[in-house]
Amino acid sequence: MQLFYSQQISEGKILLDETESRHAISVLRKQKGDVLQVIDGKGGCYDAKITEANKKRALLSIQNQTSYPKSDKQLHLVLAPTKNIDRIEWLLEKAIEIGLSSIHFIQCERSERKQVNLERLEKIALAACKQSLTWHFPEIHAMQNLSSFLSEQASGDRFIAVCEEAEFLLQKTSEIKNEVWVMIGPEGDFSPREYEEARKAGWKGISLGDKRLRTETAALLAVAEINFIWQA
């Protein structure tokens, strides 16, 4: 299934932006009258016929619509990104393919990166959603200070991955809620002060096993294990 994406859908019409239009018209050689499958990232999938085959702004007419409900299981990843952003981009792609509702970037005392390129990450996320048939796109949030993030209210189970003093071992027999937050710190782990601050905010220390893992490995393992528990 070749999927296209648009945010401009109204009154039975779909307008593809320049990137999607160029791919459809110039690369795939789609013509007026051809039917494309278009997603809106909010659960909607449309069969739409090309009425104007413009490589800059193609116009389509909706023929059929399918709506996919949002899952009642929500997984939110809170992450201190690594200095090498390629590793985070890889993580985002794989986490979406497995199952991810949102990703929040935090800056910690031992962080080596102070900002992320949201526009590039959103493009990677879009490609991953298309590839994995993810109908509801995950939210990608800008970097913020850990203390600022902890001051916000978050419902469901809240876990912070730590190398020591874990209160909870994530495994297939674990009982978890339908909404889960997992926080992964920078390489070098959270500082003792940060860990204590998180615990006071209601986060439980979680162990991902006895191996010392890289940031992106720990994050992907947590995403995979939580999805596995939900499906067990």
pLDDT at position 175 is 85
Mean pLDDT by 10-residue block, N- to C-terminus, for the chain (232 residues)? 94 96 96 97 98 96 97 96 96 98 97 94 97 96 96 90 77 83 93 93 89 92 94 80
Q: Are 26 and 55 in contact (CB under 8 A)?
A: yes
Quick one: which of 9, 186, 185, 182 has its CA closest to 101?
Answer: 182
- Number of Cβ atoms within 10 Å of the Cβ of 133: 12
Q: Which residues contact 122 (CB under 8 A, 6 or more apart)?
A: 140
Q: State how far the Cα of 19 lies from the Cα of 117, in Å rounded to an integer.
A: 19
Q: Are 18 and 33 in contact (CB under 8 A)?
A: no
Residue 143 vs residues 13, 118, 173, 194, 227: alpha-carbon distances, Å: 36, 9, 33, 17, 25
pTM: 0.92
Question: Quick one: 131 and 222 in the same domain?
Answer: yes
Domain termination residue (choose one: 14, 45, 67): 67
Q: State how far the Cα of 231 lies from the Cα of 223, in Å rounded to an integer.
A: 13
Q: State how far the Cα of 55 lies from the Cα of 10, in Å rounded to an integer.
A: 20
CATH of the domain at 53: 2.40.240.20
Domain termination residue (choose one: 67, 91, 119): 67
Q: How many domains does the chain have?
A: 2
Bridge partners of 13?
10, 61
Question: Quick one: 63 and 92 in the same domain?
Answer: no
Question: Quick one: 196 and 93 in the same domain?
Answer: yes
Question: Quick one: 135 and 206 in the same domain?
Answer: yes
- Secondary-structure breakdown of the chain: helix, strand, coil percentages, each rounded to the nearest 5: 30, 30, 40
How does DSSP assign 159-198, residue by residue? EEE-SSS-SEE--TT----SEEEEEE--TT---HHHHHHH
pLDDT at position 173 is 64
Question: Quick one: 11 and 115 in the same domain?
Answer: no
Q: State how far the Cα of 232 lies from the Cα of 75, in Å rounded to an integer.
A: 16
Question: Nearest 5°: phi and psi at 86?
Answer: -60, -35
Helix spans in the chain (H): 18-22, 85-98, 118-132, 146-150, 192-200, 215-231
Question: Quick one: 24 and 124 in the same domain?
Answer: no
Domain termination residue (choose one: 15, 47, 67): 67
The residue segments making up the domain with residue 99 are 74-231
pLDDT at position 187 is 87
